[in-house]
Amino acid sequence: MGKRIGASTRDLIITNFVAIVAGLVLSGLLLLLLDINPIQVFSSALTTLFTDRYMAAEVFLKATPFIFTALAFAFTYKANLFNIGAQGQFYLGAVAAVSVSLLLDGKIPTPILLVVVLASTLVAGGLMGAGIGFLKARYNANEFLTSMMSTYVALAFMNYLLRTVLKETKGEYPQTDALSEAAWIPRIVPGTRLHLGFVIAVVTAILIWVFLYKTPMGFRIRAIGSNARAVELAGINSRKIFVIAFLISGALAGAAGFTEVNGVQRMLIQDFNPDIGSAGIGIAILANANPIGIIFASILFGAISVIGTMMGRMPGINVPPSIVSIIQGSVMLFVITAYYVRAIIGIRRDKKRLKREEA
Amino acid sequence: MSVVVGILARALTMSTPLLYGSLSEVVAERSGMMVTAIEGIFLIGAWGGFVGTYLWGSALYGILLAMGLGVVVAAVYAFVTVTMRQHQVVTGTALNILVAGLCTYFQRVLFGIPTSPLKIERLPQLAIPLLSDIPILGEVFFNQNILTYIMYAIIPLIYFVLFRTSTGLAIRSTGENPVASDVAGISVNFVRYMTVLFSGLMGGVAGAFYSIGFLGMFTAGIIGGRGWIAFAICFLGNWHPFGAVVGTLVFGLAESISIYMQSLGGAGFLPNEFFIALPYILTIVLTVSRRNFKVPAKLGVPYVKEGG
């Protein structure tokens, strides 16, 4: 038995590695269309990544919100529920973060302020998530549709606030005033932008793993995902679980608002991180919805995003920023293919084993 | 009065692409396939419509290119979900991200960074002689572009094929009871491939409508969730073509009112953003209030042949 688990883990690592390389190769081929030498730009970007401390730290900086949105998707996915609305929950978290920060900064000490801000983002995202879970539990409303649509509503709401009550004092652009230093998340590596939020994200991922795999409530959530009918028969109230799972999922996405507003942007602007919700879904899939795997997959997506930015800034070479979505999308697609390939490999191995046992 | 007629006419215009999308989604979902790549198919259709029209000077080429690209995306989707039997929601998400990147990227490859937005001629309004002279109704129904007129023919056609032909029976039984279909000699996977490719074709046209028929240009945000709205309408219309028609008209009206209100800069205490969000709020309200869904039994479930 132990030997077979070893083989499947090896398959997982090898096939996913091949999938990632395939995604990079495909994107590289597209660069040829713009007369750009992909090997040259990729190797130059990777060299910078491994030699320049600032850029290396950027990878973890970018990975931070991804960890949260990927955990948000994975958490409901474990219960066979779909929270496609992490983007919207992130927006509400960001609105909460900037509002509370602007309201309280300078009035209470930084550590307490940051805890209050983080709590407010959890509440904002969590309430929005719980609302979706409630509609599912009470009215059997398809959570895929409601969560998907809620993102567009949250976006309109955020834009409304940015145009009215949250608008900067200068009154020029639809953006908030900058936060004062008292509301910044402390940086952890000198000379870089990497802040404590990354550590919080990693710890959160570990806590979510413990919650899902080591607690009775986590067991119930996963049980719903594997067999909802059996769970009902066992007397577990699946409706309550819907609300709880979505509450936690929404809170996780909301927390990304905290790390991005107080850790990176230090204000709220229009068109703020519009893609972290869908990237989160991709990362969760890449990691097979495993919270620990999500940490590493988020770092990979962070690296893709930093490499894309670097390639766009190389002097004389104009790599369009859209290459990032192409790499992300194709890596995802190849990773999905890898699931299929692994299933085939697994079946072949079993057949061989059976034959050997028969002989 | 003319304001109301204008809003109604615009409502019909805006419901046209949604109907192409949701009708094809009905056909695919009846065979057990959710086409979650619909947002990406709409987007590549909008891009293809723009590029074909811009490069070759005729909307016809634009629409053909849009259909072709829509089918390509649908084919990839079908290969991953039908042949490789992978999760439909997950595959759709990946494809939507990839397509969004590809459209923006190839726009850059083809046109560089233009100093002013590239424009194309929009599809003309074709007033149908006599019929367009009917007061109110004429202006609303018979002074539209060609894609809306084609839509009038597609609605009964799809209803007829789905419920009155053996093809339709094969599609519906594949979604309800694939094992029975298989026993009856129908290739489940073939039917599902065909319905998904049909979705790609129709979704491509729907997308092209936004660039050729409405905006007269291509932007990365041109679809902005409309594919998902078409997807939702299929659910809300209870997987029935006529349900989809009612649904798209409601959404077309919501969008038309939204556009009109935005042109006024909001109405009283309701800000502009409320009207931008209106179609999405409506989807949520309808999803919550709708009862007695008749979901195709095997929707989203890949078919595994016994012993295969």
Mean pLDDT over A193-205 rounds to 97
The total domain count for chain A is 1
Contact flag B104-A159 (C-beta cutoff 8 Å): no
pLDDT given at position B14: 93
Contact flag A336-B94 (C-beta cutoff 8 Å): yes
Alpha carbon of B115: minimum distance to chain A alpha carbons (Å):
16
SS3 B281: helix
Check whether A170 has a pLDDT greater than 80: yes
Q: Could you report the predicted ipTM of this complex, rounded to two decimals?
A: 0.88
pLDDT given at position A1: 39
pLDDT given at position A259: 97
Mean pLDDT over A119-140 rounds to 96
Query: What number of other Cβ atoms are within 10 A of residue B137's Cβ?
Result: 12
Q: How many Å apart are CA A24 and CA A43, to the nearest integer?
A: 12
Domain boundaries, chain B: 2-289
Residue B78 Cα distances to B190, B197, B290, angstroms? 10, 8, 30
Mean model confidence pLDDT for chain A:
91
What secondary structure letter does DSSP report for A74? H
Q: How many Å apart are CA A26 and CA A42, to the nearest integer?
A: 13
Contact flag B273-A157 (C-beta cutoff 8 Å): yes
Residue with tokens 């065979």: B31
- For every one of its 308 residues, what pLDDT tens digit does chain B have, with 9 covering 90 and above? 588 898 999 999 999 999 999 999 999 999 999 999 999 999 999 999 999 999 999 999 999 999 999 999 999 999 999 999 998 988 998 999 999 999 999 999 999 888 888 999 888 888 888 888 888 888 888 888 999 999 999 999 999 999 999 999 999 999 999 999 999 999 999 999 999 999 999 999 999 999 999 999 999 989 988 999 999 999 889 999 999 999 999 989 988 988 888 788 666 677 888 888 988 998 899 888 876 677 888 888 888 876 54
pLDDT given at position A66: 97
Q: Does residue A23 form part of some domain? A: no
Q: How many Å apart are CA B201 and CA B75, to the nearest integer?
A: 10
Mean pLDDT over A305-310 rounds to 90
Residue B167 Cα distances to B100, B156, B158, angstroms? 34, 15, 11
CATH class for the region spanning B2-289 = mainly alpha
Q: Does A163 touch chain B (CB under 8 A)?
A: yes
pLDDT given at position B307: 57
Q: Does residue A320 form part of some domain? A: no
Q: Which of B197, B248, B209, B238 is nearest to B35 (CA)?
A: B197
pLDDT given at position B268: 67
Residue A85 neighbours by CB under 8 Å, 6+ apart: A128, A129, A132, A146, A147, A148, A150, A151, A154, A250, A253, A277
Which residues does chain B have within 8 Å of residue A135's beta carbon, measured at their own beta carbons?
284, 287-288
| Among A142, A148, A320, beta carbon nearest to B105 | A320
**Chain A residue with the nearest C-alpha to that of B288:** A141
Contact flag B80-A135 (C-beta cutoff 8 Å): no
Q: How many Å apart are CA A215 and CA A209, to the nearest integer?
A: 10
Q: Does A26 touch chain B (CB under 8 A)?
A: no
Q: Does A153 touch chain B (CB under 8 A)?
A: yes
pLDDT given at position A3: 47
| Among B84, B94, B281, beta carbon nearest to A340 | B84
Q: Does residue A73 form part of some domain? A: yes
Residue with tokens 């191995």: A349
Q: Does residue A170 form part of some domain? A: yes
Q: Which of A285, A284, A275 is nearest to A333 (CA)?
A: A285
Q: What are phi and psi of A189, to 5 degrees?
A: -120, 115
Mean pLDDT over A201-213 rounds to 97
What torsion, rounded to 10 degrees, do the Cα atoms A96, A101, A104, A107 define? Answer: 160
Alpha carbon of A317: minimum distance to chain B alpha carbons (Å):
13
pLDDT given at position A5: 57
Q: Which of A248, A249, A257 is nearest to A92 (CA)?
A: A257
Q: Does residue A356 form part of some domain? A: no
| Among B84, B91, B225, beta carbon nearest to A152 | B225
Give me the domain span that covers residue A67: 61-273
Query: What number of other Cβ atoms are within 10 A of residue B224's Cβ?
Result: 18
pLDDT tens digits for range A4-58: 557 777 888 888 889 999 999 999 999 998 889 999 999 999 999 999 999 999 9
Q: How many Å apart are CA A327 and CA B142, to the nearest integer?
A: 46
Contact flag A156-B105 (C-beta cutoff 8 Å): no
Q: Does residue A172 form part of some domain? A: yes
**Chain B residue with the nearest C-alpha to that of A271:** B221
Higher-confidence residue of B288 and A67: namely A67
| Among B89, B100, B108, beta carbon nearest to A325 | B100
